[in-house]
Amino acid sequence: MPQVVAVRCTRAHGRPLRIWVPVLPVVLVLSPVLLLAVLAAAVACLVYRISVVRALGAGWGVVSALPGTRIDLEHGRTAVLVTIR
């Protein structure tokens, strides 16, 4: 599971803005919403006749593969780098 999401925003004027977001506290705060999302996904799997266990396993596989991901965005003079560790 990812531990930290680091965001760096570089603008044309001034210093870059850096933000580090710890994942665990955010997940704990949003856990009621996460629980509802998992229940909705399970119901959707049942409606479309997809194995709930395999779908949740695939979702966990995607989340487990996130550490090491880098996302670079540039638009004009603004650049954003998102790193998942």
pTM of the predicted model as reported, rounded to 2 decimal places: 0.77
- SS3 state at 57: helix
Q: Are 77 and 12 in contact (CB under 8 A)?
A: yes
Residue 82 to residue 85: CA distance in whole angstroms: 10
Beta-sheet pairing, 4-10 with 17-22: antiparallel
Residue 26 is part of which domain span? 4-84
CA dihedral 28, 30, 4, 81 (to 10 degrees): 180
For 7-52, the pLDDT digits (tens) are: 999 988 878 999 999 999 999 999 999 999 999 999 999 999 999 9
Number of domains in the chain: 1
